[in-house]
Amino acid sequence: MRKQIAAANWKMNLTYQQAENLIDDLLALPHNLNNNQQVIFGVPFPYLTMVVDKLKGKRNVFVAAQNCYTKMNGAYTGETSIEMLQSIDVNHIIIGHSERREYFNESNEMLAAKVDLCLANNATPIFCCGEPLSVRETNEQDTFVAKQLKESLFHLIAEQIVKVVIAYEPIWAIGTGKTATSQQAQDIQAFIRNEIAKQYSNDIANEISILYGGSVKAANAKEIFGMPDVDGGLVGGASLVATEFNAIINALS
- Among 99, 106, 169, 195, the one annotated catalytic: 169
Helix/strand/coil (H/E/C) assignment for every residue in 209-230: CEEECCCCCHHHHHHHHCCCCC
Would you call 31 a catalytic residue per the annotation?
no
Angle 158-160-165 from CA coordinates, rounded to 5°: 105
For the chain, the distance separating the N- and C-terminal CA atoms, rounded to the nearest angstrom, is: 14
Cα–Cα distance measured from residue 99 to residue 35, given in angstroms and rounded to the nearest whole number: 32
Residue 166's DSSP bridge partners are: 127, 210
Let me know how long the chain is.
Answer: 253
- Among 31, 97, 106, 131, the one annotated catalytic: 97
Answer for the pair 43, 66: CB distance below 8 angstroms, yes or no. Answer: yes
Ranges of beta strands (E only) in 66-221 are 92-95, 124-129, 165-168, 210-212
Residue 61's DSSP bridge partners are: 39
Would you call 169 a catalytic residue per the annotation?
yes
How many Cα atoms occupy the beta-carbon half-sphere of 104 within 13 Å? 14
Catalytic residues: 97, 169
